[in-house]
Structure 1
Amino acid sequence: MEKLRIEFRPNYKFEDYLAWEGKWELIDGVPYSMSPSPTKKHQLVSANVGIQLNELLKNCSECQAFIALDWRINDEHDNNVFCPDNSVVCKPVTGDYIETTPELIFEILSPSTAGKDKEAKYIIYQHHGVKYYVIIDIESSTAEIFVLESGKYKNVTEENNGSFTFDLGKCRINFDFRSIWKTEK
């Protein structure tokens, strides 16, 4: 007689997440450690993205740029919390977390997160209506830009030395990808 094998899959909620020490993401109820910390190059590229977004949005009072601010997807499951490397939100953020869907998310690939960024986050961001999803590969100095069209992501370009205009509703920003690769003085 064959033994029945049952796999345990945790299903944690936002309330559980709040009690944990350290940096975590919660994807469909499964916790993922955000350690070790990102590399120097990863952090410098993220800082460059954030600086440029802040500069581009200074005349756009509706939108705000964030670096690594948790996004809680507050739905009936309440089991998703993401920490995008960079995001732009064009609705008020009144608490300690983003609780509305960002218009634009940048994720910077690292060996420990590449699979999640390209698969799970891609699917969930698409499902929850993130208009633009940018996946940055710091090793090849390229960025894949996905735009949400009719509920599905379409890869519109791969940039490393150009610019792309993001239409954020009341604001349009022309993002220069050349400036984000500068990581050495």
Structure 2
Amino acid sequence: MVSQLSQTEIIYPESDGKPMADNTKQFELIVEIKKGLDLLFLNDPQVFIAGDLLWYPIQGQPHIVTAPDVMVAFGRPKGDRGSYKQWEENNIAPQVVFEILSPSNSRLEMSKKLLFFDRHQVEEYYLYDPETNTLEVWIRTTSGLEPIAQPDNWTSPRLGTRFDTTSGRLQLYKPDGTKFHTYIEVNLLLDQERDRANQAEALLQKYRDRYGELPS
């Protein structure tokens, strides 16, 4: 009875009090990756994707926690969560995590994150530095997370996405070869499609005015 009471009193905060991003480059990339993955797995109800969400891997240990910039958990349903409590998620750890470096991230902090991800069974870890345009990739082997020697043009085994930095920034590509778009790019594409549809409708109306309805 005492142990049950003490267990219910444990608090798992839903915020660490830190901002999602420290600068515009970091923020834009986090949003681009998260929304791009949302679209990629839109029709799969068993892929949960989150940005800047606290992940608690062990019940009763709220001090063991991290918040990846983006994380992907296959085998877990989509939906809103205040945090990712692994014991409530069929004990499934996020298989893929992303970190986008900011100037405030120290080497010690990132080393601890790598250790955390390794210890808690992450399968793929992607670390990108926007300032140096450097991508680092770790993949799980029988020995744990191991770095990839040539990460550029790498294709994720889990996501099927390809990573490229030759344009001067990190760019992700879907399995069909199309790239992840920024919010502005998506809206420009929508505007272009709307303009084309309006032009086609205007031409069709001009034909109708001159020749009447199209033959069936």
Which TM-score applies when normalising by structure 2?
Answer: 0.60
Instruction: Choose which of 161, 165, 181 in structure 2 pairs with 1:174.
Output: 161
Instruction: Choose which of 63, 70, 76 in structure 1 pairs with 2:47.
Output: 63
1:49 is displaced (CA, Å) by 1.1
State which structure, 1 or 2, has the greater radius of gyration over its C-alpha atoms.
2
Structure 1 or 2: larger helix share? Answer: 2
1:146 is displaced (CA, Å) by 0.3
1:113 is displaced (CA, Å) by 2.0
Relative to 1, partners in 2 of residues 1:157 and 1:98: Cα closer, same or farther, differing over 3 Å?
farther
The amino acid across from 2:100 in the alignment is I
Tell me what 1:144 maps to.
136
Bigger relative contact order, structure 1 or 2 (CA pairs below 8 A, ≥6 apart) = 1
The amino acid across from 1:40 in the alignment is T
Tell me what 2:195 maps to.
none
CA distance in 1, matches of 2:109, 2:54: 15
Tell me what 1:155 maps to.
147
Tell me what 1:165 maps to.
156
CA distance in 2, matches of 1:14, 1:145: 35
The amino acid across from 1:140 in the alignment is T
Tell me what 2:94 maps to.
102
Tell me what 1:10 maps to.
none
Q: How does 1:44-63 map to 2 (within 5 A)?
A: 44-63=28-47
The amino acid across from 1:15 in the alignment is I
Consecutive unaligned residues of structure 1, counting only runs of 5 or more, are 1-12, 25-32
Consecutive unaligned residues of structure 2, counting only runs of 5 or more, are 1-8, 87-92, 166-170, 173-179, 186-216
CA distance in 1, matches of 2:157, 2:59: 27
Q: Deviations over 1:99-144 (max 9, x none)?
A: 2311100011112224355211110110010111111111112221
1:98 is displaced (CA, Å) by 1.2
What secondary structure sits across from 1:81 in the alignment?
A: coil
The amino acid across from 2:162 in the alignment is F
1:78 is displaced (CA, Å) by 3.2
The amino acid across from 1:148 in the alignment is R
1:174 is displaced (CA, Å) by 2.0
107-116 vs 89-98, which moves further? 89-98
124-133 vs 90-99, which moves further? 90-99
CA distance in 2, matches of 1:16, 1:175: 35
CA distance in 2, matches of 1:51, 1:177: 18
Tell me what 1:3 maps to.
none
> Contact (CA 8 Å) 1:107, 1:134: kept in 2 or not?
yes
Structure 1 or 2: larger strand share? Answer: 1
1:41 is displaced (CA, Å) by 0.6
Which TM-score applies when normalising by structure 1?
Answer: 0.69
Tell me what 1:7 maps to.
none
CA distance in 1, matches of 2:146, 2:20: 32
Instruction: Choose which of 40, 48, 53 in structure 1 pairs with 2:24.
Output: 40
CA distance in 1, matches of 2:48, 2:12: 28
> Contact (CA 8 Å) 1:67, 1:85: kept in 2 or not?
yes
CA distance in 2, matches of 1:69, 1:36: 9
Relative to 1, partners in 2 of residues 1:149 and 1:96: Cα closer, same or farther, differing over 3 Å?
same
